[in-house]
Structure 1
Amino acid sequence: MNNIQYSYGGNGTIRKVQNCDFFPGIRVSKEQRNCLSVKVCEFASKELDVGHTSVDFSKSFFKNIFDANEKFHEKTTLCVFAKAYECHCEYVDQNGVKCNGISKLCEFNQVTGLITSKKKFIGCTNWKPKEKHRYLTIPNNVDLELLETMFSEYSYHPYGIDFKNDEVNTVDESFLHKVENRIVKGSVSKKASACPVTFYHIIPENLKECPFIATVSVEKHNHPPPPPYKTPYNIKNQLQNIINNEHTLDLTRRKNNDSKLLKWKTIK
């Protein structure tokens, strides 16, 4: 039952059932679980705070989610801005004093053949010639105009605007948001009221004779549907097998992720 999109819990009560309307004449086991709701960001649109009984990707609800994901360049720019403040310069001078500089947006002249162009990078405010301070290269998919605006007009708040004490149902999210002239991380928490939905998994005792499983949910969810980003384990395993069998190593997830990492370099 690990392939279900919803997060569920409970004691996993299982009992044998002799007669089941879904599988007449077949001995089955019925497993009961409770929906654990979803965690929602404090900056999430109020339009997303709705209950549901079914999931239909053609509805406007999911259109809003998918449209938000199209703002890729802005999200990438926000992440680069945050990375600039979270990664500190590690340079130590001849006296053993560690650099306390902060990040700033810089530029240098890049010469390619007969063409000279200015290229932006994120450097250290304490940099001096012949000192090996760190700098951060800027990916091509970053909105440079937006990044310049952030450095000149925005401040970074890694723990949100009003940091509260840690709670079990609250976590810091990795996504960043623009709030007035501040770049902040939102807190993600569960709804105050528990979701009333109960899941029933009806599983034949002999899956070879009856290779089907019925999942039934009772009541209405009091929260939005979980986003369709939790890839079921069996699908990931099957995809990995296809990749391995076809020897298409460039398609592996690790290679894809490595190409997007923000890497520090040393400037001399």
Structure 2
Amino acid sequence: MSYVDLHCHLLPGLDDGAATYDDTLRHARRLHAEGVRDVACTPHVKRDEFPGVAVREIVERVAHAQRRIAAAGLAIRLHSGAELAHADALLLPASDLERIAQGPADARWLLLECPFDGIDDDFALAAARLRELGFGLLLAHPERSAGLLAGDGLARLRPLLAHGALLQVNVCSLLGNHGLDVQDAAVRLVREGVAFCLASDGHPGSREQTLQLGFHLLLRAGASSTQAYRLTQANPRLLLRDGVTRPLFDVEQRALAAAA
């Protein structure tokens, strides 16, 4: 197995993830041992809660962490990114957004955090702004948004998906760590083929599940081994290599049509 994790708070001392480089290296050793070979470092860009995260420093911090990990003999490639809050997505200049985008130059994309309070008009406006600026979207943990199934959350997401946004589900959600409603939502997104990838949303020291566990949780949730492979390896690797491109939009639209 060669897992690709697009959502991990591995950089130390920035947010609620790793506190120190010792924590970073300890978690990196676990990732290496469990077959995770590519990791996107995605500190929160969320000024209300983490005002100390400087967008312009993230790339340099990732490079430093990569040197420390390589020196420890660990076969992990780090990728620079961020978990972008929708309030910040409405305010940050395009130049800062480009600094935290991932993918190739002609198909850049951003990891946009779905709000825990639910999918609302401000979130839709943020997604629209990013799309107008030319960025593709990977929506982080939509299953954790209030009212995704019981309310109108999923219906509010469908127009975004029709415009090419993709969904990322968390390992801990499938595990049931955020309650049965969140677990049910995560399982439904997987079973209906709407989820495009699985990520750990790892927080060394507090939330340490990796994609190795996620692969088996997908099988338990009813995914085939082929789908589990795609969600944990092929699809996230495709996003790193090719970005969010029109063929991916078409794949997502077909999945939505099948789930409707």
TM-score, length-normalised on structure 1? 0.20
Q: Which structure's relative contact order is higher, taking Cα pairs within 8 Å and 6+ residues apart? A: 1
Computing the radius of gyration over CA atoms, which structure comes out larger, 1 or 2? 1
Bigger strand share: 1
